[in-house]
Structure 1
Amino acid sequence: MSSFLVCTGFNCVGHQFCLHFEPFHPRTAPVYMAFLRFMVSDEDAEKFCYSLEVGGKGRKLTWQGVPRSIRDSHITVRDGMDGLIIYRNMALYFSGGNMKELKLKVSGRLWRKDM
């Protein structure tokens, strides 16, 4: 499992967010993790919710949470397993094909909590 970190920044509801996707080995099985960070403080981040989804072949995994502040390192978020966790064999299954190439589409939704 090669080591890479993908971070895609985007603007939504007038704020900057960053979607992270990376592989890691929390225990014995390799996994991929996707999570959202918000370019503000913890207090402001808690005003929002998000969901991420990945799937294929009639199945899907969904995660719902609160974006983490950009002030929290991605390592802290990853080690806290605060995101969508996709085991490698499931990621390859969702990718279809020969079960050797990773081709995942992570989609999501972001909304502001009612105050």
Structure 2
Amino acid sequence: MGDEEDARNYSYSLEVGANGRKLTWEGTPRSIRDSHRKVRDSHDGLIIQRNMVLFFSGGDKKELKLRVTGKIWKEQQNSEGGVCIPNLYS
């Protein structure tokens, strides 16, 4: 997503799940010019602690099994103004 201003034109969602459980994270992406350390240090991302992954994984708590899916879309204004229409990407 280019610079910070360009990134604000997009939205994204990440869904993490397993064994009938689901956790969804939604937000506005960061600029690709931001380092992963900057994102991590600002707590602006999805970090799943090991105990949460074990909870999602169920079973004998020896395997870490998660399904991660994501979507990103660009918000577009329609000709009548004001309404955002999602343009989904996979």
* Shorter-chain TM-score tier: 0.7 to 0.9
> Which structure shows the higher strand fraction?
1
> Which structure shows the higher helix fraction?
2
Confirm or deny: 8 A CA contact 1:62 1:84 kept in the other structure.
no
Q: CA separation in 1, counterparts of 2:76 and 2:25?
A: 20
Give 2:72's aligned residue. 110
**How many pairs were matched up?**
77
Greater relative CO, 1 or 2 (CA 8 Å, sep 6+):
2
2:7 corresponds to 1:45: yes
- What's the C-alpha RMSD, in Å, of the aligned pairs? 1.6
Within a 5 Å distance, the mapping from 1:26-37 to structure 2 comes to: none
2:66 corresponds to 1:66: no
Offset of residue 114 of structure 1:
2.4
* Structure 1 residue ranges (4+ consecutive) displaced by more than 3 angstroms after TM superposition: none
When Rg is computed on C-alpha atoms for both structures, the one with the higher figure is: 2
For structure 1, the residue ranges without an aligned partner over 5 or more in a row are 1-37
Confirm or deny: 8 A CA contact 2:14 2:24 kept in the other structure.
yes
Offset of residue 108 of structure 1:
1.2
TM-score, with normalisation over the residues of structure 2? 0.73
Q: CA separation in 1, counterparts of 2:59 and 2:67?
A: 14
For structure 2, the residue ranges without an aligned partner over 5 or more in a row are 78-90
Confirm or deny: 8 A CA contact 1:48 1:113 kept in the other structure.
yes
Classify the secondary structure of the residue corresponding to 1:101: coil
TM-score, with normalisation over the residues of structure 1? 0.59
Q: CA separation in 1, counterparts of 2:27 and 2:43?
A: 11
